[in-house]
């Protein structure tokens, strides 16, 4: 239709004997020149130009009206946001509402706050409705999805944001604390995704965004339940993305770091300072910043080729997953290698008989100490470093930075070296023990 319309416009201009450029020049001439008297021949030519121009404008207006009438009406996307009454969920719901979406605002207990979010969305010109329900319960999830479909006929985007915390050290954590977090933060994501995917699969189109956390990548003291749930969400996201990719359903996870909230506002200055020390940008993130990333993944056509990814929005915090502790451990391991090099150098010098008696005595004295230190460092810190590397690779952030075979072969060398070191220490101490026995036997005899 657009091609034929453009062709008609070109024909109209050509039939009038006027090019597009010449028409623009005539209009510009009219604006700049003052009225002057023209010969009759020129006046008649100008009248013919004016009549031609009017005819062209009429044809263009007709074509534009035809294009407007023929253009398909695009329905506003239908979005379900869980845990949308406050915090990050509220910011996401408002962002979707501003973008012209029809938003279902899910809440568990904060009904007044959810109603306020709906009013704000409607004030922006969008449509919204609330639904109170526990996403860890299958019946509530099915009712929530049905409510959205009954109201608007379909479901285009699901944003799994609902979550809770029940922090505590593992040794003191109750089973109920563990289960509550797993049920809502992980099982809830499973139930909502399963219910929404049924609709998206039929239309072969949809986007699902799961709100995870950087602690699902790095872990955090006192949050074994929360970290486990968010790590589960990350693994779940990657798997579902693979399963539904053939149905044109994009599934991604967003992992926020420290985001400003009611909880962070109550922290003391000292605690806040310690938290921000591990954030390179040196500040908390804002819920609106997370909402902007989610909106991009949910609505932007440029995100159509993104699926199965975990996007961190943490001010650079996860840069330190392979930093700080891992670098310190690596430094100590390098020191252990240097001591081993020194020991081996003395060893070669001794066997070649080019060292003095003093050097030989130093070697005999330091060999057990060197190897004891060497074994202790590799035996304790080696596995810790291996764990750090393991987390680094498991998080999916390593990419091609460090080949997998490189660190596996390095670990094989470490294990072998530890074994050799232990045997060498046993040999040296056994030799010393024999010397003592010989001396005692000589004394007795």
Q: Work out the pLDDT band at 34, boundaries 50, 70, 90.
A: very low
Domains of the chain: residue spans and CATH: 2-70 (no CATH), 78-320 (3.40.50.720), 325-444 (no CATH)
Q: Assign 3-class secondary structure to 141-160.
A: HHHHHHHHHHHHCCCCEEEE
More confident residue, 397 or 275: 275
pLDDT at 286: 95
Least confident of 217-231, 271-285, 384-398: 384-398
Does the structure show a pLDDT above 90 at 249? yes
Q: Which residues contact 121 (CB under 8 A, 6 or more apart)?
A: 93, 94, 96, 97, 98, 103, 105, 127, 128
Q: Please write the tens of the pLDDT for every residue from 160-178.
A: 999 999 999 999 999 999 9
State both tokens at 164.
Answer: 């809770």
Residue with tokens 């329905």: 75
Point out the annotated binding site for NADP(+). 83-86, 161, 226-230, 259
pLDDT at 272: 81
Q: Please write the tens of the pLDDT for every residue from 85-106.
A: 999 999 999 999 999 999 999 9
State both tokens at 110.
Answer: 């904060």
Q: Please write the tens of the pLDDT for every residue from 176-211.
A: 999 999 999 999 999 999 999 999 999 999 999 999
What is the mean predicted confidence (pLDDT) over 265-277? 77
**Using CA atoms, how far apart are residues 304 and 173, in angstroms rounded to an integer?**
42
What is the mean predicted confidence (pLDDT) over 213-241? 93
Does the structure show a pLDDT above 80 at 435? no
What is the mean predicted confidence (pLDDT) over 46-52? 49
Q: Assign 3-class secondary structure to 380-397.
A: HHHHHHHHHHHHHHHCCC
Does the structure show a pLDDT above 80 at 338? no
What is the helix (H) or strand (E) element at residue 80, kind and residue range? Answer: strand 78-81
Does the structure show a pLDDT above 90 at 148? yes
Mean of pLDDT over the chain: 76
Point out the annotated binding site. 83-86, 161, 226-230, 259
Known catalytic membership, residue 226: yes
Which of 20, 107, 124, 226 is the catalytic position?
226
Per cent of the chain over pLDDT 90 is: 46
Q: Which residues contact 96 (CB under 8 A, 6 or more apart)?
A: 77, 79, 81, 103, 121, 126, 157, 159, 295, 298, 299
Quote the pTM value: 0.62
Per cent of the chain over pLDDT 70 is: 58
pLDDT at 296: 97
């Amino acid at each position: 239709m657009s091609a034929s319309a453009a062709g008609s416009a070109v024909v109209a201009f050509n039939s009038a004997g006027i090019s597009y450029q010449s028409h623009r020049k005539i209009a510009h001439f009219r604006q700049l020149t003052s009225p002057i008297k023209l010969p009759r021949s020129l006046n008649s030519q100008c009248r013919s130009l004016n009549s031609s121009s009017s005819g062209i404008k009429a044809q263009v207006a007709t074509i534009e009206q035809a294009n407007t009438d023929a253009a398909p009406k695009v329905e506003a996307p239908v979005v379900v946001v869980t845990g949308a009454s406050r915090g990050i969920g509220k910011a996401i719901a408002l962002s979707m509402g501003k973008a012209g979406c029809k938003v279902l605002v899910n809440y568990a207990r904060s009904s007044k706050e959810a109603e306020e979010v709906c009013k704000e969305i409607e004030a922006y010109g969008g449509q919204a409705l609330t639904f109170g329900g526990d996403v860890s319960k299958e019946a509530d999830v099915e009712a929530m999805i049905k409510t959205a479909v009954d109201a608007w006929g379909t479901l285009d985007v699901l944003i799994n944001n609902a979550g809770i915390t029940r922090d505590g050290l593992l040794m003191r954590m109750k089973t109920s604390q563990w289960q509550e977090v797993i049920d809502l933060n992980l099982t809830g994501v499973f139930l909502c995704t399963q219910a929404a995917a049924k609709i998206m699969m039929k239309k072969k189109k949809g986007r699902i965004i799961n709100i995870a956390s950087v602690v699902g990548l790095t872990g955090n003291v006192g949050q074994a339940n929360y970290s486990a749930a968010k790590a589960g969400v990350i693994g779940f996201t990657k798997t579902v993305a693979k399963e539904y990719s053939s149905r044109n359903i994009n599934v991604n996870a967003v992992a926020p770091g420290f985001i400003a909230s009611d909880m962070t506002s109550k922290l003391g200055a000292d605690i806040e300072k310690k938290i921000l020390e591990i954030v390179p940008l040196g500040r908390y993130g804002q819920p609106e910043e997370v909402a902007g990333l989610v909106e991009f993944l949910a609505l932007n056509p440029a995100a159509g080729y993104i699926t199965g990814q975990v996007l961190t929005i943490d001010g650079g915090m996860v840069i330190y997953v392979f930093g700080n502790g891992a670098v310190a451990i690596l430094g100590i391991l390098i020191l252990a290698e240097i001591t081993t090099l020194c020991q081996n150098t003395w060893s070669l010098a001794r066997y070649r008989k080019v060292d003095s008696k003093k050097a030989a005595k130093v070697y005999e004295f330091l060999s057990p100490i060197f190897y004891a230190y060497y074994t202790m460092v590799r035996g304790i810190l080696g596995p810790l470093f291996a764990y750090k590397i393991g987390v680094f690779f498991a998080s999916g952030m390593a990419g091609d930075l460090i080949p997998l075979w490189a660190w596996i072969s390095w670990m094989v060398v470490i294990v072998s070296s530890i074994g050799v070191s232990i045997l060498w220490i046993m040999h040296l101490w056994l030799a010393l023990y024999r010397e003592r026995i010989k001396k005692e036997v000589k004394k007795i005899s």
